């Protein structure tokens, strides 16, 4: 089955590779003994980049999976919306 983000897999991979690079950059900063506050600034940057990826995934998910479920039945929509709400709550807390 194809998912909401199927048409944009390459863009997600490119963004995740950049985030992987940011996390490797953090390791270099720690190994080099960089200043704590500069490392914290880069941690915040990595978290913002992960937030952006999450928002895109969520939008793709609503646009495809939730819309398809709503067009199938109210019950199918209810299940998808329960699931999405829990995922959003985890993002809000993380």
Q: What is the chain's Cα-based Rg?
A: 17
Please, what is the minimum distance in Å from the beta carbon of residue 25 to a second copy? 10
Site string for a second copy, 36-55 (x = CB under 8 A): xx-xxx-xxxxxx-xx-xxx
C-alpha closest to that of 25 among 56, 49, 9, 57: 49
Q: Does 59 bind a second copy (CB under 8 A)?
A: yes
Question: How many residues belong to the site for a second copy (CB under 8 A)?
Answer: 66
CA distance 36 to 29: 9
CB of 76 to a second copy, least distance (A): 10
Distances in Å between the alpha carbon of 75 and those of 62, 65, 78?
16, 13, 5
Using CB under 8 A as the binding rule, whether residue 79 contacts a second copy is answered as: no
Encoded one letter per residue, x for contact with a second copy by CB under 8 A and - for no contact, window 20-39 reads x--xx-xx--xx-xxxxx-x
7 binds a second copy (CB under 8 A): no
């Amino acid at each position: 089955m194809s998912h909401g983000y199927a048409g944009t897999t390459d863009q997600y991979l490119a963004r995740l590779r950049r985030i992987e690079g940011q996390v490797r950059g953090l390791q270099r900063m720690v190994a080099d003994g960089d200043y704590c506050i500069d490392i914290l600034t880069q941690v915040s940057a990595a978290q913002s980049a992960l937030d952006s990826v999450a928002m895109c995934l969520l939008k793709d998910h609503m646009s495809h999976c939730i819309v398809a479920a709503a067009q199938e039945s109210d019950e199918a929509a209810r299940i998808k919306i329960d699931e999405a709400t829990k995922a959003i709550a985890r993002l809000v807390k993380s």
